[in-house]
Amino acid sequence: MDTPSPTLNSPQSILKQYFGYDRFRPLQADVIEAVMNKKDCLVLMPTGGGKSVCFQVPALAQEGTCVVISPLIALMKDQVGGLKVNGIEAEFLNSSLSAKETAAVEQKCANGSLKLLYISPEKIFSESFQWLMGKMNVSMFAIDEAHCISFWGHDFRTEYTKLALLKENYPDVPIIALTATADNLTRKDIIRQLRLNDPEIFIASFDRPNISLDVLPANKRMQRIIDFLGRHQNEPGIIYSLSRKSTEQMAMDLKAAGFSALAYHAGMDTESRTRVQDAFRNDDVPIICATIAFGMGIDKSNVRWVIHHNMPKNIESYYQEIGRSGRDGAPAEALLFYSLNDISVQRSFLVDLPEEQRELQEAKLDRLVQYIETPFCRRKILLNYFNEDYSGNCSNCDNCRNPRNKFEATVLAQKALSAIARTEEQVSVSALSEILYGSKTQHIIEKGFDKIKTFGTGKEVKPDNWKLYILQMLNLGVMDIAYDENHHLKLNAKSKRILFEGEQVFLVEIQQSFKARTPGTRNIVADQDENVDDKLFEKLRRLRKKIADVESLPPYLIFNDNTLWAMVHEKPDNEEAMLDIQGIGVNKFDMYGKLFLDEIKNFFHRKSLPYNPSEKGSTQQYTYDLLMLGKSPESIARERNISLTTIYSHIASMYEKGNPMEIEKLLSAKEQKEIFEVLKRLGVKSALKEIFEALDQKYDYGKIRIGIAMYARSER
C-alpha cells in the first residue's frame, strides 16, 4: 500500500487516532499550537510529563519529516518501536545499525515517507546525512534531552554543542527543544546555544501527583522491604543502595525470600548490565537492586515503585530517582529509608571537595534531611525546593495520610544535653542513645558511662527512637555534631539556654509503621471486587507479555499499565467500547484490540458472573433521557464522564430502535452529505474503520455511527 498522503487533521483527532487519548495534558495543546505556527519552542516538563506528544502530533499534522535528535541511542529502538505500533512511519539512524539497515532508512528519508526520524547528534552532522537532509523536506527539529547542550546541566555532551549549526543551516525550520531539567542557567544556555529565535517557553509543573511519598527510619529495613514487596507482587520496581556489594547482597537476600531480583551496578561488565536491563524492560524480572548507575537509559513506563535502601545525596538526585516510577501516570510509590549512619556516610563523601563546593553540597544534604524530618506535606517541600509554589496538602504522602503530632520535648532534650555534658562531650549519637536508655554495652562499660548520673534516665524511649529524636534535635540546633571528632556531640549556646533557662523544645512523633497508600488504580467497591479486578489485570498483563515477546517489544509499549487498568475498570465488551479506552489508537486496536476483548470476555465467562443485559439498555436510556432534556452530547459526555464517542453511539442505537429525536441537529448538512456519500459507495455494513478512513479520518467514530443510523433509516 502507498503511504497515505500527509493528513492535515486537527491535533486533537491525531491524538485520538494514533495515541488513543481523548485529551491533551496541560500545556501539550499550547506547545503544539506554537510549533505548528513555526515558532521555536523550549519545553520543560518532568519525566513522564508527556513531552513526546508535543512534537509527535505536529509531525503527523504537517507535511515532511520531523527530525528528532536524541543522545540516548539505546532508547531509540524502543521509541521508534512504540511509534510503529501506533501506526506511525518512523525510523532511527545511529551507529547501532548495519550498513544495509542504514541504507534502507536513508532510502525512506529520501522518498519522504517518514513522519519522524530519530537520529544521534554524531550522525546528523556526518557528510552523507547532511547531503541527504538537503534533499529532505524537514518539517521541524525536535531536540530531546536538550540540557545536554549546557555545561551547567548534569549531563553535558560535546556532540550537542554542534547543534548550534542547525539554525545556521536551516533558518526556516522551527526547533523544539525539550528537557526535564529546569534550572534557570541551563534554560538560558539552551536558548543561546541553539540560537532559538524568540522562542516560546513552556514550563510545566514538576509535580508528579501519582507518585506517593513515604519516608521511614531504617530500623528493621529488610523486613519492611520484604513486607512491601509482598504487597507489590509482579510490580516492577527499583531498590537503590549505596554500594555495589549491598546491591548484590540485597538481590541474594530477596531471592532467598522467594522474590525474583537481580543486581545492577557499574562494576559489572557491559554484557551483564545489558542483560539485567533487558530482563527488567521486558518484565522478565520485576526487582532490580541497583546503585544509582541504573536508570539513565531506561524509558520503562511501568516502574511501579522505587525504594531508597540508603539515603540519596540531595533532593535533586532523590527526585530524579523516584521520577523513574509511574511515567505512565498510574499510581506509583516512593519509599525512602534514612538513618544517621547514611547521613554521616553522605557527609564523608564530601570532605575532600574544595571548600566552596563542599559547603554547597552540605547545604543540599541538609535540605534533604529537612525533607526527611518534616511533619508537613512532603510534596510541598519538594516543589518548593524546585521554586514551585504548592499549597499542599497532597494527601498522597505519609505526612498527609497520617499526620504526625508535635509534642513538647524539653525534658527529653535536657536529659540528652545533660548526658553530653557529663560525658564531657565525648559521645556519638548511638552511644548517647544507649546511655539514655541504660544499655550496658561493652563500649559503655569500658568508658564508664554506666556510672554517670544520667545513665538510664530515658528508659521510656527505645534506643532506636532516641537516635531519631537526637537527629531531630540536631536539625533544630539543640546541640552540634563534630564530624571531624569522631562525630561526637557538642553543646552550643542553644543547648545552654535549654538546660539552664528553660527554653522549650518541640519534636515530632516518629513514623513507625508504613500505612499503605489508599488505592488509586483500583476502583474498589468491595474487597471481592478488588480481587476480581486484580485477577483480570493479571490476565491482561500476561496476555500483554505474550504479545510483547512475539513482537520483540517491551510490554509497556504494547499498552501501558494505565490502559490495562482502564480495560479492567471499563470491562469493554464490544469493539467500540474498546476504542474508547484511553491509550488505544486505531492501529493498536486493529492489531491487539480483539485479543484483549476476547481475554476479557473469556474471563467473565469462565467466572460466570451474572451478565445483566438490561444494564446495557439503561445506560443508553439514560443518555437518551438527558438528550431529551435538551442537553448536548458534549455536556452529557462531561456529566456522565463517558467519552463523546460512546455518547454518540448510545444516541445512534436509541435512534435505531425507533426512539424519536431531532437527530438532524447532531450532524450538520455538510457532515451528513459527506458521510452519506461514503456510505453510498462502501455500504452501511462496512467496518467503521474503513468508513473513518474513507472520510479522511475527519469524523469521530461516534458521529459516523449517527450518520449510519440516519442513512439506514432513510434507506428504509
Q: Give the nearest distance from C-beta 86 to ligand ADP in angstroms.
A: 9
C-alpha torsion sign, points 603, 605, 610, 612: positive
382 binds Zn ion (CB under 5 A): no
Q: Which does 394 bind (CB under 5 to 8 A by kind): ligand ADP, Zn ion, none?
A: Zn ion
Based on CB atoms, which residue is closest to ligand ADP, 28 or 649?
28
**String of DSSP letters for 648-671:** HHHHHHHHHTT----GGGGS-HHH
SS3 label, residue 68: strand
CA–CA distance, 9 with 27 (Å, rounded to integer):
20
Nearer to ligand ADP, 206 or 385 (CB): 206
- Beta carbon of residue 380, minimum distance to Zn ion (angstroms, whole number): 7
Q: Is 400 in the site for Zn ion (CB under 5 A)?
A: yes
400 binds, among Zn ion, ligand ADP, none (CB under 5 to 8 A by kind): Zn ion
Q: How far is the CB of 378 from Zn ion (least distance, A)?
A: 5
Cα separation, 428 vs 137, in Å, equals 69
| Distance of closest approach, residue 310 Cβ to Zn ion, in angstroms | 23
Which residue reads 442505537 in cell numbers? 653
Q: Between 81 and 456, whose beta carbon lies closer to ligand ADP?
A: 81
* Cβ nearer to ligand ADP, comparing 89 with 144: 144
What angle, rounded to 10 degrees, do the helices at 463-476 and 340-348 form? Answer: 50
**Phi, psi of 515, deg, nearest 5:** -90, 120
Angle CA 379–385–389, to nearest 5: 65
Question: Across-strand partners of 308?
Answer: 240, 336
The interface partner of residue 697, options being ligand ADP, Zn ion, none and the CB cut-off 5 to 8 Å by kind, is none
Q: Which is nearer to ligand ADP, 21 or 592 (CB)?
A: 21
Please state the closest distance from residue 592 (CB atom) to ligand ADP, in A.
15
Q: Output the smallest distance, CB 276 to ligand ADP, in A.
A: 22
Q: Which is nearer to Zn ion, 397 or 536 (CB)?
A: 397
Q: Could you tell which of ligand ADP, Zn ion, none binds residue 607, using a CB distance below 5 to 8 A set by kind?
A: none
174 binds, among ligand ADP, Zn ion, none (CB under 5 to 8 A by kind): none
In the complex, the residues that contact ligand ADP under the rule CB under 6 A are: 21, 23-25, 28, 45, 47-53, 301, 327-329, 560
Q: How far is CA 485 from CA 139, 257, 350, 488, in A?
A: 63, 40, 16, 6
- Binding test (CB under 5 A) with Zn ion, winner from 239, 322, 394, 473: 394
- Smallest distance from the beta carbon of 394 to Zn ion, in angstroms? 3
Residue 11 binds which entry of ligand ADP, Zn ion, none, CB below 5-8 Å type-dependent: none
49 contact, one of ligand ADP, Zn ion, none, CB 5-8 Å limit per kind: ligand ADP
How many Å apart are CA 441 and CA 428, to the nearest integer? Answer: 14
Q: How far is the CB of 15 from ligand ADP (least distance, A)?
A: 6
**Cβ within 8 Å of residue 593, ≥6 positions away:** 575, 578, 579, 584
CB of 455 to ligand ADP, least distance (A): 56
Q: For residues 324 and 296, give the distance between their C-alpha atoms in angstroms, rounded to a whole number.
A: 9
298 makes contact, choosing from ligand ADP, Zn ion, none, with CB < 5 to 8 Å by partner type, with none
Return the ∠ at Cα 451 (arms to 447 and 457), rounded to 5°.
115
As given in the structure block, the three cell numbers for residue 472 are: 531531630
Question: Binding residues for Zn ion, how many (CB under 5 A)?
Answer: 6
Q: Diameter of the chain by CA atoms? A: 104
Query: Which segments of 195-289 does DSSP mark as H helices, in order?
Result: 221-231, 244-256, 270-281
Give CA 616 to chain center in angstroms.
Answer: 35
The reply on whether position 507 binds Zn ion by CB under 5 A is: no
Are 685 and 658 contacting, i.e. CB atoms less than 8 angstroms apart? no
| Residue 24, contacted partner among Zn ion, ligand ADP, none, CB below 5-8 A by kind | ligand ADP
Asked if residue 211 binds Zn ion (CB under 5 A), the reply is no
Identity of the residue, 331 or 554, whose beta carbon is nearer to Zn ion in the bound complex: 331
Interface with Zn ion includes 377 (CB under 5 A)? Answer: yes
Between 58 and 326, CB nearer to Zn ion:
326
Q: Contact at 8 Å (CB) between 433 and 451?
A: no
Q: Which helix (H) or strand (E) holds 66?
A: strand 65-69
> From the CB of residue 504, how many other CB atoms can be counted at a distance below 10 Å?
10
Our CB check for ligand ADP shows the closer of 47 and 472 to be 47
Comparing CB distances to ligand ADP, the nearer of 24 and 455 is: 24
| Secondary structure class of 263 (helix, strand, coil) | strand
Reduce the DSSP state of residue 14 to 3 states and report it: helix
Q: Is 397 in the site for Zn ion (CB under 5 A)?
A: yes
**Cβ atoms 537, 564 nearer than 8 A:** yes
Contacts (Cβ under 8 Å, ≥6 apart) of 564: 537, 540, 541, 544
Determine the interface stretch with Zn ion among 31-39, 296-304, 371-379, 662-670 (rule: CB under 5 A).
Answer: 371-379
Residue 300 binds which one of ligand ADP, Zn ion, none, with CB within 5 to 8 A depending on kind?
Answer: none
Q: Which does 327 bind (CB under 5 to 8 A by kind): ligand ADP, Zn ion, none?
A: ligand ADP
Q: Which of the stretches 282-290, 379-387, 415-423, 630-638 binds Zn ion when contact is defined by CB under 5 A?
A: 379-387
Q: Which is nearer to ligand ADP, 53 or 419 (CB)?
A: 53
The answer to whether the beta carbons of residues 92 and 71 sit under 8 Å apart is no
Place of cell 524511649: 461
Find the radius of gyration of the CA atoms of the chain: 30
Q: 52 contacts which partner out of ligand ADP, Zn ion, none, CB within 5 to 8 A by kind?
A: ligand ADP
Residues 305-324 that bind Zn ion (CB under 5 A): none
Binding site for Zn ion (CB under 5 A): 377, 379, 393-394, 397, 400
